Amino acid sequence: MKQIIRIARTELQLLFYSPIAWLILIVFTIQASLVFTGALSGFVNFKEMGYELKGVTLNLYTDPWQGFYARLLGYLYFYIPLLTMGMMSRELSSGSIKLLYSSPISDAQIIFGKFLSIAAYALLMTGIVFLFTLYGAFVVDKFDFPATLTGLLGVFLLICAYGAVGLFMSSLTSYQVVAAMGTFAVFAVLNYTNQLWQDVPFVRDIMFWLTMGGRTNEFIGGIISSEDVIYFLTVIGLFLGLCIFRFRAVRQKTRPSVSMGRYLLVIGSAVVIGYLSSRPALMYFYDATRTKLRTLTKASQDIVSKAEGGLTITTYSNALDEDRWLWMGMPRAELDDMRRFREYLRFKPEIKMKYVRYYAKGRNEKSLNNRYPTLDDKGRMGKIAQVYGVDSALFLPVDEIGSIKETLAAEQFRYVKVLKRDNGQQSVLRVFNDAMGFPSEGEISAAIKRLVTTLPKVGFVEGHGERDCIKEGDRDYNKFARENTFRYSLINQGFDFEQLSLDNEVPAHISILVIADVKTALPDLHLEHLKQYIARGGNLLIAAEPKRQGTMNVITEIFGVQLMEGRLVKPSKNFQADLIFTRPTKEAGDLADAFGSIHRNKQVVVMPSAVGLQYNAAAANGYTVKPLFITDSTGVWNELETVDFVDDSATLNLAAGETEAANMATAIALSRKVNEKEQKIIILGDADCISNGELGHSRKDIMAGNFMLIAGSFNWLSNYDAPVDVSRPPFTDNDIKIGKTGFRISKIAFTGVLPAVMLISYLIIWFRRRRQ
């Protein structure tokens, strides 16, 4: 060990007596300063403009796109070849290698000594990065220090891995420039191996593992993965091993066949270690973030723990599916897809991932008819396979994939995943027509929860003109209930549903009953069946509409609630008068976190036409009543005269019976104890606010929280069984302690003073050496 340290000390002296090491440090410091101050300036400007900051630590340092670490790592590979290109090449070109050959020092000691000097230099570069991190601890309120330290570890390991590659390339040639260019070439290969041979399963795993691109992402994000740590150690060991055997081959004049055997042994050992370390059962993780942002929430962990036994996730990909999902169904996309379930594999490593490819007519038929008018389905599949460069034999006719065809047909032959336990239970996991596309933790956990428990069944009452949960009209509830491409639909959040009439008693398996916009009065028999359901403690969502007071008051009066006459209006310069924006009450936030998120995110629930809800808490037939959403404190009344809100203007007429009231309730929650169970009722003054039309509507400068209204309502009504609560504690590091002046001073210190100090240090060392 003494010899290794002695060699490392000598190398460091040579490095720092030459301008190259200092030049790299100074340029690296300037570049790091520019990257950091560039990222910081955005937060300073946002604060100066009056915007609220959230999660500053993670966004400033660990954001995978614009964070300090991620942006800085994109430049690291420029520096290391300049540092390592002369470490062995210099020995070879000057002839001093012969002195090393004749010395009583082993090949391994020489290589380890030189690499130790690289590691020391890497530690110095990481220390420079740490200065910027330490700065954050002073200027960011409640700085999340541990989350940034993992990023520093990633920086250090990446520099060391680059250094090992550079050291090996330097041992291959006596020309330093050639060594540097060779190092750049190896970096390029290691960053793109995940693009090679991705159609061959075993080779694909190896090549994907070998790639260095993205290996620091989890470190930067605040999590330490055993696979990534082992990867860097293995890459370092691989290139140091190759370097040692290269050194030995030259020193001992080893036969080429023997040398090749040694090289293959080192490479094979690295491949085996890499393959084993990437197995889910052998991986370990540590999440350093304050809110455990990179780990499944407690709710999801509990769900996964209940899914005992084997679980297989099979992806069914249709070659004739919409273009957006064609690529994700190809073999080369499999490993990226598997990584989306990495957090679940962490807690259930026995999950198996399978992929089945087929072809069938689906939602994309019209587009295919336009593009390939003369080809049949098989011909179209062959053409698409040819374009993507895959064997058409991968895709089976849909009739040959077994009984699962019925499930796929119900999903319109779109890209889906089917989760299946060993006991035969299965559920469907979908992709969505939104910016994210792929299911998030909430949808994945809901799909798994279907396998381990009986989830709530929602019944939609029909037969009296109610809103339809099957049709896709603007005023219907298809998107809200069953639209499989809409992320927030009940079916994607863990609920089953059915339409039912009140000709018979409400079935016992119905957990929540929905009655929306009743147009014709309920017959006595139907009303009796509804009252029986209420009497036994069934939960209920009632959605009213203007002009329906006569048919719906008979229902709401059961709970001591009266629908106001007319409709609520608030004249506005930009919107129709009967478009009402409501906000959640404090009581709403206490009932469901989704309601609280509407308040925290400064959203509103938009009600296109609403009636006010009147109730007397003291005469609510035994129910505890809480207002959920209320109107503004001024300027809202129930309009009784105006009918045309496009051409006419609404004016308050107290003589006509119109009433202006502050904080008028548009949604209320009622609860009581029935047979040791809490019965829960929600009454909405508007049925349009959860309709297809409204959920697909956006308005300028209006942040609508109608999606969260659905999630919060059904979360409370289902006794928090669904949707799965994947919320996390709020960030606490939501401010920075500097303004424009402080930022300017900091920028001067980082980009000017710090590099100047380093330059002066070098000049002092250089002058002292010259004197000696």
Can you say whether the dihedral through the CA atoms of 339, 340, 344, 350 is positive or negative?
Answer: negative
Strand segments, DSSP code E, in 608-690 are: 613-615, 624-630, 637-639, 665-674, 677-684
Confidence of residue 760 (pLDDT cuts 50, 70, 90): confident
pLDDT tens-digit readout, 547-604: 999 999 999 999 999 999 999 999 988 899 999 999 999 999 999 999 999 998 889 9
Average pLDDT over residues 504-515: 95
| pLDDT for 233 beyond 80 | yes
Q: What does pLDDT average to over the chain? A: 88
Q: What is the enclosing helix (H) or strand (E) of 515?
A: strand 512-516
Buried b (16+ CB within 10 A) or exposed e, 751-765: beebbeebeeebeee
Between β-strands 396-397 and 352-359, what pairing exists: parallel, antiparallel or unpaired?
A: parallel
Query: What are phi and psi for residue 41, nearest 5 degrees?
Result: -60, -35
| pLDDT for 18 beyond 90 | no
pLDDT tens-digit readout, 646-678: 777 888 898 888 988 889 999 999 999 998 899
Q: What is the enclosing helix (H) or strand (E) of 6?
A: helix 2-17
Tell me, what's the pLDDT at 66?
81
Average pLDDT over residues 483-492: 82
* Number of neighbours of residue 377 by Cβ within 10 angstroms: 17
| pLDDT for 359 beyond 60 | yes
Between 549 and 92, name the one with better pLDDT.
549
Give whole-number Cα distances, 346 to 41, 91, 224, 349, 678, in Å: 37, 47, 13, 6, 37
- What spatial distance separates the first Cα and last Cα of the chain, rounded to whole Å? 30
Distance, CA of 323 to CA of 317 (rounded, Å): 12
* Number of neighbours of residue 725 by Cβ within 10 angstroms: 19
| pLDDT for 93 beyond 80 | no
| pLDDT for 146 beyond 70 | yes
Distance, CA of 460 to CA of 404 (rounded, Å): 28
Q: Among 484, 474, 485, 546, which Cα is nearest to 697's?
A: 474
Average pLDDT over residues 334-351: 89
Distance, CA of 80 to CA of 163 (rounded, Å): 6
Confidence of residue 252 (pLDDT cuts 50, 70, 90): low
Residue whose token pair is 């019965």: 679
Give whole-number Cα distances, 572 to 575, 632, 645, 646, 689, in Å: 5, 13, 11, 12, 19
Please report, for the chain, how many H helices and E strands are present, in that order: 31, 20
Distance, CA of 23 to CA of 394 (rounded, Å): 55
Between β-strands 457-461 and 496-500, what pairing exists: parallel, antiparallel or unpaired?
A: parallel
> What percent of the chain clears pLDDT 70, i.e. is strictly above it?
94
pLDDT tens-digit readout, 236-251: 999 899 888 887 776 6
* DSSP label of 699: B
Query: What are phi and psi for residue 275, nearest 5 degrees?
Result: -65, -45
Confidence of residue 759 (pLDDT cuts 50, 70, 90): confident
* DSSP label of 704: B
Can you say whether the dihedral through the CA atoms of 379, 385, 386, 388 is positive or negative?
Answer: positive
* DSSP label of 702: B
Q: How many residues does the chain have?
A: 772
Tell me which range, 257-266, 267-276, 363-372, 604-613, is most confidently predicted by mean pLDDT. Answer: 604-613
Tell me, what's the pLDDT at 201?
59
Buried b (16+ CB within 10 A) or exposed e, 156-166: bbbbbbbbbbb
CB 237 within 8 A of CB 270: yes
* Number of neighbours of residue 309 by Cβ within 10 angstroms: 8
| pLDDT for 335 beyond 90 | no
Tell me, what's the pLDDT at 479?
81
The helix/strand/coil state of 203 is: helix
Q: Among 731, 727, 589, 715, which Cα is nearest to 299's?
A: 727
Burial of 698 (0-12, 13-18, 19+ CB in 10 A): exposed
Between 92 and 482, name the one with better pLDDT.
482
Tell me, what's the pLDDT at 188?
77
- Residue 116 tokens, joined: 């130790």
In the chain, what are the domains?
2-289+743-771 (no CATH), 298-430 (no CATH), 456-717 (3.40.50.880)
Q: What is the pTM of this model?
A: 0.85
Instruction: Supply the Cα-derived Rg of the chain in whole angstroms.
Output: 33
CB 243 within 8 A of CB 167: yes
pLDDT tens-digit readout, 50-70: 888 889 999 999 887 788 998
3-state secondary structure 236-271: HHHHHHHHHHHHHHHHHCCCHHHHHHHHHHHHHHHH
List, in sequence order, the alpha helices (H) in 85-144.
89-94, 97-102, 107-139
- Residue 195 tokens, joined: 């693009």
Q: Among 343, 372, 348, which Cα is nearest to 359's?
A: 372
Tell me, what's the pLDDT at 102?
62
Average pLDDT over residues 239-267: 79
Tell me, what's the pLDDT at 282?
85
Distance, CA of 27 to CA of 475 (rounded, Å): 62
556: left (phi over 0), alpha (psi -120 to 50) or beta: alpha
* Number of neighbours of residue 116 by Cβ within 10 angstroms: 18
Distance, CA of 160 to CA of 112 (rounded, Å): 12
| pLDDT for 99 beyond 70 | no
* CA atoms within 13 A of residue 263's CA, in its CB half-sphere: 14
- Give the type of residue at 684: L
Tell me, what's the pLDDT at 86?
74
Tell me, what's the pLDDT at 204?
62
Tell me, what's the pLDDT at 636?
94
Tell me, what's the pLDDT at 190?
76
3-state secondary structure 449-478: HHHHCCCCEEEEECCCCCCCCCCCCCCCCH
| pLDDT for 394 beyond 70 | yes
Contacts of 351 (CB under 8 A, 6+ apart): 280, 311, 312, 313, 341, 344, 345
Write the DSSP assignment of 364-416 as a string of letters: THHHHHHH-TT--HHHHHHHHHHHHT--GGGSEEGGGSTTHHHHHHHTTT-SE
Distance, CA of 686 to CA of 581 (rounded, Å): 12
Q: Among 592, 766, 770, 762, which Cα is nearest to 29's?
A: 762
pLDDT tens-digit readout, 416-467: 999 999 988 999 999 988 888 899 999 999 999 999 988 889 999 999 999 8
Write the DSSP assignment of 24-67 as a string of letters: HHHHHHHHHHHHHHHHHHHHHHHHHTTPPP--HHIIIII-TTTS
pLDDT tens-digit readout, 597-654: 999 888 999 999 999 999 987 767 789 999 999 998 888 999 998 888 877 788 889 8
pLDDT tens-digit readout, 216-226: 888 998 999 99
513: left (phi over 0), alpha (psi -120 to 50) or beta: beta
Tell me, what's the pLDDT at 49?
87
Q: Among 441, 439, 420, 482, which Cα is nearest to 303's?
A: 441
